[in-house]
Structure 1
């Protein structure tokens, strides 16, 4: 479907696009492997490239119509690891479950080995958030109106309920983790986690999800450095998902909670990340996400293999500090 945005620009989201991109050097944290956060950054860049080629340029639609291009849901599975010198070949097309009036995209990243392998699959939802700041922008044209929202929000894949807590408690992080196999901390949202002036963006939540893992295992005596030094183990991520439920703003205190949900056959475990702000005397759930972790032993500078959890790791996942 081709939609007219203006006399000189048309919007065609239905035509698949392909794009080549390399991982950012920053993502090569362990040996030359690229972490899940930067794999998601590749997905994000592929989506933005698709939108631009389709006629929806994020900078132009913001400056002209006050519409902010936001990823509000990203669900990514990693099938093969990327290395720093790899070139990702991305294909983006409308998702088969996309409905009228929504931008729901299917992203596939390929990587060249002996053959061209499907390395990553991802489903991404995009919304155009109307920004009242700035003033003077033209009204959004009818072609973009179906995708425009006043507040960012998406429907999560699982049931979410904000816990009942005493907002007057001295330590809200303890309230949020009481009776749960969880860890929480308070995080003041800095401007560099935000975009379009004041709202935390998806990449900010990806950073927090990565930090949540780090803080959880460190609090239980099995920090990433500890397992690296003592067992040559590193964490690996085959799946992650984050959904924005509401908006969190610059300089608000964001309460980040990571909860261990289940362990699968002693090789991987699922944990859930939830974030909250206290606004107008109420606890507001701003995002939810899930991530699957395993551990691999470094065999050499180019290879690793998945290992089963030992007694120490199982105890930590059960909430017992070493």
Structure 2
């Protein structure tokens, strides 16, 4: 006899979900445009709704079976900008293959412009079910065991720094502030010889879920913040270019992949490395995340963004703009022209 769980898993693996999603007001930082972080939140919400429609919402999976729903791999392309009050049609299509140990989904968001529906976002997401170990274990239904993991992360793209010995400094105590971008032995080790910027930061409770783990949303917030700090460090802060030129940052693509777990109140080392400046129009940068455990570096996640600039023409319209010499030199880590 087919069990309710088997029916639900069959839905997760085979049935398409369509829903409406709307970006949050918080994501509108410049004029009425919505930033990449909140676009990714829409993708995550669409995936969570797919689980609800299947009859296995995140709450039930955790409370009944001790399984936490974690988006552990996300690759999102933004084709058209979102604005405040946009209502998007989200389509979630299962793409899990035989033998996969994580659920796979293709997510597409559509918006209406001038009476036409446009494909605004395409995204690929993978979801793991993390077995909770805070309380006594409960039996996991057979149909879910394939996707249940004792620890998050693939470890597939860990950097050369992973496992290296490290000697952390005690400079994220509350009396010293939450973090540092200054002299720090672990940051110096991670940044050596690279066109990179580093930030050490104590992981706070609001960035975590399921008792202790840094959530996908926490990593997205971290990417947004390290970009802000990097640009300020290079002398082209977001407000500087807004005031001087009315330039706004745009991120047409973002990726995050979990390699391990980062835990509440650990010190997280975030390294932002510029990889390529492409035709003075966009640049790609890699973001790597580390903690130190037992005196060794552990890489917990990696990701990339593609970043550019747009100039706004009025409160509604903007257009992409090429980098000038000042911006190119800053991105390449070169001193400003004399």
Distance 1:237 1:167 in 2: 33
Say which SS state the counterpart of residue 132 (structure 1) adopts. Answer: coil
Query: Normalising by the residue count of structure 1, what TM-score does the alignment of the two structures yield?
Result: 0.94
Distance 1:261 1:24 in 2: 31
Distance 2:325 2:46 in 1: 41
Seen in structure 2, the aligned counterparts of structure 1 residues 98 and 81 have a Cα distance that, compared at 3 Å, is farther
* Equivalent pair of 1:186/1:253 in contact (CA under 8 Å): yes
Say which SS state the counterpart of residue 263 (structure 1) adopts. Answer: strand
* Equivalent pair of 1:3/1:143 in contact (CA under 8 Å): no
Distance 1:169 1:15 in 2: 48
Say which SS state the counterpart of residue 285 (structure 1) adopts. Answer: strand
Seen in structure 2, the aligned counterparts of structure 1 residues 216 and 132 have a Cα distance that, compared at 3 Å, is same
Report matched runs for 1:134-145 at 5 Å: 134-135=135-136, 138-145=138-145
Distance 2:22 2:36 in 1: 14
Match in the other structure for 1:87: 87
Say which SS state the counterpart of residue 39 (structure 2) adopts. Answer: helix
* Equivalent pair of 2:155/2:260 in contact (CA under 8 Å): no
Report matched runs for 1:9-24 at 5 Å: 10-11=8-9, 12-13=11-12, 14-24=14-24
Query: Normalising by the residue count of structure 2, what TM-score does the alignment of the two structures yield?
Result: 0.90
* Equivalent pair of 1:199/1:248 in contact (CA under 8 Å): yes
Moved more, 184-193 or 94-103: 94-103
Report matched runs for 1:204-223 at 5 Å: 204-223=218-237
* Equivalent pair of 2:187/2:199 in contact (CA under 8 Å): yes
* Equivalent pair of 2:271/2:287 in contact (CA under 8 Å): yes
RMSD (Å) for aligned C-alpha atoms: 1.9
Report matched runs for 1:107-146 at 5 Å: 107-114=107-114, 115-135=116-136, 138-146=138-146
Seen in structure 2, the aligned counterparts of structure 1 residues 150 and 314 have a Cα distance that, compared at 3 Å, is same
Distance 1:84 1:294 in 2: 21
Q: Which structure 1 residue ranges, 5 or more long, are not aligned?
A: none
How much does 1:162 deviate? 2.1
Moved more, 227-236 or 100-109: 100-109
Structure in which a larger fraction of residues adopt helix? 2
Report matched runs for 1:166-205 at 5 Å: 167-168=166-167, 171=184, 172-205=186-219
Moved more, 161-170 or 268-277: 161-170
The number of aligned residues is: 318
